Amino acid sequence: MRLELRSSFLKVLKWELFNLSRFPIPELILTAGIFITLQAAGVPGNFGVLSGNEHIEKLSFEGCLEEMNNYIGLAVSFGIDRLFLSVALFSVILSSLAFSYEMESGLMAFYLSQPVGRAFIFISKALIIFLINFSACLFSFYFTSVLLVPRQITHLLKSGHIFYSFSLISLEIALFSLSLSVLVAILTQKLSFSVTIGVALILILQAMDQTLWELGFKYLPPTSVKELIFFTFVPAIMPNPPKLSPANVIRIPFVTSLLMSLVAYYQFVTRYEAK
């Protein structure tokens, strides 16, 4: 019985992988990711903040070279709050295709008539969308870093600190955009509504970035991403960085994402009626 369940889940997962990774979608996410991270990397202002502090001034040339890795990470990841917009938009498109389009066209009713649980269908769809976005994010970070300093490729691949930081930031972006877009797609159940409302919500969130920050709601993406970068990279460079609340930086966005995902899961598994 367990084996059957496992094989059916794997079949659904494989099907969704082929369905959602059709030709232009992952490529476009990747292209947008690389474009945005390259655009943002190396803005002089980013280094102006760091070059003025005493810690850097006291370093020898060799010491500065050792700090290079953190600079690369910082340079690349400073553009990440812009990457949120593109990843979130693609997440809306993928979620709308996977959920609301199939609900509207009757494909979902066909899936539900198959001997596969609703939970499996939900998890497989959400998991594939998440994996596509997360891997595109991570790949664009690494690709941009290698483009900036080709000789650093081995260090970038081996450095646990950079991998941890890039993964954490990518995880937050991918998870938040996924949970928001899937929730909208399941609640609306129509492709046009899902895309419109999802895009509108993300644009509002992006536009309110500064306002949210000033109002104190700085732990929701994209504002939390800036805090996360500060929390992960800056302490490695500055000996006495301003105090942050890392627990909030990590906890609040992840809890928000988890809550939205749970609501979407409950709505799909128990409340959704296939037409």
Partner 1 sequence: MRGSKIILRLGFTVFLMGVSILSSALSRKTLSTSLEMNGSIHLQEPSSILNLEFAYLLNKTSILHGKFPEGSYGWIEIYDRRGAQLLLSGEESTPLVRERFNTSILFKYSAPYRDYYLIVLRVENVTGRYLVSFSFHQDLETDLLKDSFLIMAFGSVMISIGYVVIPIFEKRVNAPSINANFRTNPSNKEDSRYRL
Residues that bind partner 1 (CB under 8 A): 23, 26-28, 30-32, 34-35, 38-39, 41-42, 44, 47, 50-51, 56-65, 67-68, 71-72, 75, 143, 147-151
Burial of 28 (0-12, 13-18, 19+ CB in 10 A): middle
Comparing CA positions, the residue from 13, 220, 255 lying closest to residue 130 is 13
Burial of 238 (0-12, 13-18, 19+ CB in 10 A): middle
- Closer to partner 1 by Cβ: residue 147 or 255: 147
- Closer to partner 1 by Cβ: residue 44 or 216: 44
To the nearest 10°, report the CA torsion of 198, 114, 10, 132: -20
CB of 139 to partner 1, least distance (A): 10
Q: Is the dihedral of CA 257, 260, 262, 265 positive or negative?
A: negative
- Closer to partner 1 by Cβ: residue 32 or 162: 32
CB 177 within 8 A of CB 84: yes
- Closer to partner 1 by Cβ: residue 60 or 113: 60
- Closer to partner 1 by Cβ: residue 148 or 263: 148
CB of 73 to partner 1, least distance (A): 12
CB of 197 to partner 1, least distance (A): 28
CB of 145 to partner 1, least distance (A): 11
Comparing CA positions, the residue from 166, 149, 137, 144 lying closest to residue 38 is 144
- Closer to partner 1 by Cβ: residue 48 or 115: 48
CB of 74 to partner 1, least distance (A): 11
**Angle of helix 160-188 versus helix 80-95 axis, rounded to 10:** 40
CB of 166 to partner 1, least distance (A): 17
